[in-house]
Amino acid sequence: MKPIAQIKAPINFEMELFEKKFRLSMSSKVALLNRITHYVVNRKGKQMRPMFVFLVSKMVSGGEVNDRTYRGASVIELIHTATLVHDDVVDDSNRRRGFFSINALWKNKIAVLVGDYLLSKGLLLSIDNNDFDLLKIISVAVREMSEGELLQIEKARKLDITEEIYYDIIRQKTATLIAACCSLGAASVKPDSKHVERMRKFGELIGMAFQIKDDLFDYGEEKIGKPTGIDIKEQKMTLPLIYTLNHASEKDRRWLINSVKNHNKDSKRVKEVIQFVKNSGGLEYAVAKMKEFQQEAFHKLKSYPDSPYKQSLELMMNYVIDRKK
């Protein structure tokens, strides 16, 4: 059994029903929009975010989900999809999950409008059902994701990222959405309980480990969703590179910064940077940090009784740092 199938096993029924509800939540009277959203739905990823919503909801309540849980999962997936569509426009990317991105097929203007449409659909789904507590969780996540992206762009210009700033960026950019999934799962069945904040923190820790794993892919040989060295080419500061810069001699540091700033399109130079980071222990340091976040997340689940849902969340934590793409 593949890891994802194993993780999904206790919530198979919920995930199938969610798929149907999610398709309905995207529908529009505009034929072009329906064509595009149909394309989006059929090229879905691993759907880790809704899985977090259902697993957490069932773990904190002893196996309960309700309509709020389904709506929450749909809203998260709508907003996540909207951010991916917009991301592809921002990054000028033509591929997404191995398929053409929306902006590659329908151009930027339509892609931006589709992203806006999905975002508004998500917000309205909460408002129409008076799920204001869930809407607040999601709106905070969207605000933080935007701030994180902008902070990253601002810092990439100067390349003056410390480890602390890096954690701030990934907390906002990546971890905040997984944190929202987990707190939303808890809030849908146990509103105003201590579970909501505890699960938010749990999701944030997994999100941090998830992003560091993503950074490590930039230095790997395996075929994944993005090409090796792409973060260096885009001047994104990753944890292995930050560690290397902080521990390099002044001469090497100047060479590294010059390489990332002025020679990031030169494949040979990018390979040299990757090799230098590997030789400096940057990867080992990042792996150790990733495992620290993972262990902290494990600790957050300790107080919950054993259940298939808790086991799946523990499997998910291992999957996050062991995955190959």
CATH at residue 197: 1.10.600.10
For range 27-55, the mean pLDDT: 80
What's the pLDDT score for residue 234?
Answer: 65
Alpha helix segments (H runs only) across the chain: 3-8, 12-25, 31-42, 48-61, 67-90, 102-128, 132-158, 163-170, 176-189, 194-217, 230-233, 239-246, 250-262, 267-279, 282-301, 308-322
Confidence of residue 175 (pLDDT cuts 50, 70, 90): very high
170 burial type by CB count under 10 A (0-12 exposed, 13-18 middle, 19+ buried): buried
Question: Of the ranges 39-43, 75-79, 162-166, 288-292, which one carries the lowest mean pLDDT score?
Answer: 39-43
In a domain, 196, yes or no: yes
Question: Of the ranges 42-46, 130-134, 168-172, 264-268, which one carries the lowest mean pLDDT score?
Answer: 42-46
For range 54-68, the mean pLDDT: 92
Range of the domain at 46: 3-208
In a domain, 40, yes or no: yes
Confidence of residue 291 (pLDDT cuts 50, 70, 90): very high
Confidence of residue 223 (pLDDT cuts 50, 70, 90): very low
Average pLDDT over the chain reads: 85
In a domain, 247, yes or no: no
In a domain, 278, yes or no: no
The pLDDT of residue 200 is above 90 = yes
In a domain, 93, yes or no: yes
What's the pLDDT score for residue 224?
Answer: 43
3-state secondary structure at position 60: helix
In a domain, 304, yes or no: no
In a domain, 61, yes or no: yes
Q: How many domains does the chain have?
A: 1
